Structure 1
Amino acid sequence: MPNLLVPAEDGAAVVACSTCRASTDAKDDAEGMRGGARLVAALQAVQASDPRYAGIAVQAMPCLFACQDFCTIHVRGPAKIGYVLGRFTPDEEAARAILDYAVLHAESAEGQVPFRQWPAGIKGHFITRTPPAGYVAQ
């Protein structure tokens, strides 16, 4: 049986579902590419274009099991509350909003970013929060 888990950088990261649907109605976009793969590519391009995002790893993973919410990502960091967000348009604008939020998340003490600091592009996209290993949130 092959290993299910693959080692990844243990730091601030955006884990993006690489197999997500492009939208509620379509698996692939007009060019035959999955929405998740398109979002991963946008995240990687935006991250590479701006040194502000150097401390945030962009990691791809097939299926985050949030299929009804297409184009999903998980923002995480060591000993921090993580967040799963979805329903993004897989483009540069969404990628920049996600990475802007990930920077704020990484700078926070426990993963909680005040609502007033949230980039507009992530509001309404939260699906769930996840506790770090060994903790639950209050």
Structure 2
Amino acid sequence: MLTPVSNGPAVVACSTCRHSAEARDDAEGMRGGARLAEALRTVRETDPRYAAIAVQEMPCLFACKDFCTVHLRAPGKVSYVLGRFTPDEEAARAILDYAAHYTASKFGRVPFSDWPEGVKGHFITRSPPEGFVAT
């Protein structure tokens, strides 16, 4: 089933992702993906630079090997799946900092020099927007 959401820039968090490679849930019994989505919403509310970026949730992005995954997308831009995050506010801030650069970019390409340290090494895939391929 599909649920309509806003069509603007978004970080879609996998709400059912494992907490880590070793554990499905955290000490309070919450899945890592749900905890990361919570952290993303909390951090988003603290900085007006993130206002244009929606935080959305979806059960299972099918990147189970790469726990705590998110899908970064926007119309007409290359999209990215990132994972292997700790589900906390530090990771959420790095994701949203990258998403702010991504949102400001023309086609979704962010110069490496603008990547927050917290997203380096977390990219899993990139996908072209509908009707295009990246060159």
Would the TM-score normalized by the shorter structure come out above 0.5? yes
Shift of 1:49: 1.4
Query: Percent identity, aligned pairs only?
Result: 69
- What whole-Å deviation, never above 9, does each CA across 1:1-31 have from its counterpart, x for those lacking one? xxx1110110111000000000011100111
Helix, strand or coil at the partner of 2:3: coil
- Partner in structure 1 of residue 112 of structure 2: 115
- What whole-Å deviation, never above 9, does each CA across 1:40-77 have from its counterpart, x for those lacking one? 00000000111111000000000000000000001111
Partner residue of 1:86 out of 83, 88, 97: 83
In the superposition, the TM-score normalised over structure 2's length comes to 0.99
- Partner in structure 2 of residue 36 of structure 1: 33
Point out 4+ residue stretches in structure 1 off by more than 3 angstroms.
none
Q: Give the gaps of 5 or more residues in structure 1.
A: none
- Partner in structure 2 of residue 67 of structure 1: 64
- Partner in structure 1 of residue 53 of structure 2: 56
Q: Give the gaps of 5 or more residues in structure 2.
A: none
Q: Number of aligned pairs?
A: 135
In 2: Cα distance, 1:116 partner to 1:50 partner? 22
Q: 1:135 aligned to 2:132?
A: yes
After superposition, the CA RMSD in angstroms is 0.5
